[in-house]
């Protein structure tokens, strides 16, 4: 066997890696969380304040504060499954906006 040819072990590992990479497709939910993570990282790098500090500053605003508090409460209830789907505004928005052709909701 010449030095240019890959050994059987190297070939197997390479083909397995490429097969795994071809097969992996993140679900829409996973892709969404990846996007959120990237957005948070970019925001943390781009601004001199942390997102936590910006959140606390916004909470002190007389108009934005209550709106942020309500939005944060709804988001938390949605993520922890505290709301039935038929009352969950985030779920309802997603169904009516993105899942028009689907029938397996609610």
pLDDT of residue 96: 85
- For residue range 11-58, list pLDDT tens digits in order: 566 666 666 656 778 888 888 889 999 998 998 888 888 888 888 999
> Is residue 93 pLDDT above 80, yes or no?
yes
pLDDT of residue 19: 60
Mean pLDDT in the chain? 80
User: Would you say the pTM of this structure is higher than 0.85?
Assistant: no
Packing angle of the helix pair 64-79, 51-59 (nearest 10 deg): 120
What is the arithmetic mean of pLDDT over 72-99? Answer: 90
């Amino acid at each position: 066997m010449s030095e240019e040819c890959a050994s059987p072990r190297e070939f197997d590992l390479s083909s397995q890696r490429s097969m795994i990479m071809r097969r992996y497709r993140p679900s829409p939910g996973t892709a969404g969380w990846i996007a959120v993570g990237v957005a948070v990282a970019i925001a943390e790098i781009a601004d001199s304040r942390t997102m936590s500090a910006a959140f606390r500053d916004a909470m002190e605003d007389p108009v934005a504060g209550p709106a942020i508090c309500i939005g944060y409460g709804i988001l938390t209830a949605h993520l922890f499954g505290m709301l039935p789907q038929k009352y969950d505004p985030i779920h309802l928005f997603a169904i009516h906006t993105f899942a028009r052709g689907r029938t397996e909701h609610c």
